[in-house]
Amino acid sequence: MGSYLSQPVTDKESCYGRGRGHVWGCSAMQGWRTGMEDAHIAVSGLGDELDELSLFGVFDGHGGAEVAAFCKQHLPDEIRRQLRKRLADGARLSGDVLGEALISAFHAMDDMLRSPEHERQLLALKQAVRPSAKGIGAAASSSSGSSSDSGSSSGSDSEAEEKEDGKKPRGVLSLLSNSIQSTLEQARDKGSLSREEAKQVMMKMALLRRLESKAPSLSSDAAAADNVGCTAVCVLLSDTEIVCANAGDSRAVLCRGGSPVELSHDHKPNEAGERERIEAAGGRIEEIPVGARVHYRVNGNLNLSRSIGDLEYKKQPALGHERQMICSTPDIVKMALNKEDDFIALACDGVWDVKTNADVCSFVKKRLAAGEEIVPAVEALLDDCIAEDPKKASLRFDLNIFKPRPSKWHRDHPGIRVACNTTSLQAACYHQMGAD
């Protein structure tokens, strides 16, 4: 079955805790995949002058689990640093300021991944985070009032595998593979290969097979994050406002009055604005048919256009963070909470490959309305996303659930319930205590 198991792993790793103003829970399920590369964070109260803010997020890894684990370890502290810097400059914690801090923190992750100190740490994380065929590999330790688990998956010959496999070639392997592909494409255009061209292709293919068999020994500090990355979707939650940052194809959705309201949109290479940036940076977008669908890949490899890591695509300093071929700049959406809000769902593509925004809203809302606790409700969502045929879905799961304790604002708005659903399948839910 390639990168799939003969049977899905439906055991879940769930946890529950309390932080500043919240009770939260997490659950993770591997599904059909042989491993997981994703991570999540749940920080209920950022501490001291930032304690009114809570942070929840999910990181969908590709090419390895280490960049997702790195973000789990470092992003909360970097967001704190960016917010405190702005407070010291006289700013207040408005939605605009929160959004600016999130953008700077996402950019800082790429900068840190380039530094020798953190490159060494990334290689250590690569060894420490070992996705398991039985469960979800853990990475960084969590602090009081916070949670973060890691996990992910890789692909096979199905659409889901096609999605992942395009992300894997590393360093010299990637260059050699692209050279072979380019020669074959030229031959296809000409209709034939010369004897010398055919000989060169055969030699390159033999060398590629040799190098692939020794791939682990090719890793180096300088290339630690060149071909490893992750999506990132994060929510900063105050008593009155949601601020969402998203880079990649993970997604955040607010369920308001039973209807989904998008807090993010997926970043794909074929979108007009993304294509313009990619091509301006010297990249190309290839169309690859997979069954009835067409996948769009940057340089024939990545099937998303924004991420943290993937530094091979970010080697033009003059372009800044925002104009790199693959950029880490998140879109920011700010929205005031109101009494019609039911929950927020943050999820990696493991959920959204099989559920629409409306599906998730309906599924979770129905169970909460029936009095079901939030962790069982999200665990049920994971079970419902499992397909009998692994080729029907790319399933990787990691869920967080949060219940805000009623603040003054919540006491003034007794009907509010907020939930965050994060997955690859990653999922998380916020839910007001005592609002059932």
What is the pTM assigned to this prediction? 0.75
d(C-alpha 223, C-alpha 220), whole Å: 5
Domain ranges in the chain are: 4-160+228-268+304-310+328-430, 171-218
CB 113 within 8 A of CB 68: no
pLDDT for the residue numbered 155: 36
State the pLDDT at residue 374: 76
Residue tagged 């999922």 (tokens): 427
d(CA 7, CA 406): 43
CB neighbours of residue 266 within 10 Å: 17
Q: For the chain, give me the number of helices (H) and strands (E)?
A: 11, 19
The residue type at 44: S
The per-residue pLDDT for 37 is 81
Tell me how far apart the alpha carbons of residues 19 and 86 are, in angstroms, rounded to a whole number: 24
Task: Judge: domain 4-160+228-268+304-310+328-430, CATH 1.10.760.10.
Answer: no
Residue 29: per-residue pLDDT:
74
Question: Helix, strand, or coil here: 283?
Answer: coil
Per-residue pLDDT tens, the chain, 436 aa: give them. 346 677 787 887 776 766 655 556 567 777 776 667 888 888 888 999 999 998 989 898 888 889 999 999 999 999 999 999 999 999 999 999 999 999 999 999 999 999 988 888 888 888 786 554 443 333 333 333 455 443 333 333 344 444 444 444 445 666 666 677 666 656 555 656 677 777 787 787 777 667 655 554 444 444 688 989 999 999 998 888 999 999 999 999 988 988 999 999 999 999 999 999 999 999 999 998 877 888 899 999 999 999 999 999 999 999 999 999 999 999 999 999 888 888 888 888 878 888 999 998 999 889 888 988 878 888 888 888 886 555 544 444 444 444 444 444 444 443 333 333 333 344 445 444 334 4
Backbone phi and psi for residue 8, each to the nearest 5 degrees, phi listed first = -70, 145
Structure tokens at 359: 């599906």
| Residue among 230, 229, 235, 232 at smallest CA distance from 42 | 235
Where do runs of H (alpha helix) occur along 192-327? 195-213, 272-280
Per the structure block, which two tokens stand in for 333? Answer: 């959406």
- Determine the Cα–Cα distance for residues 306 and 325; give it in Å rounded to an integer: 9
13: closest CA among 24, 26, 4?
26
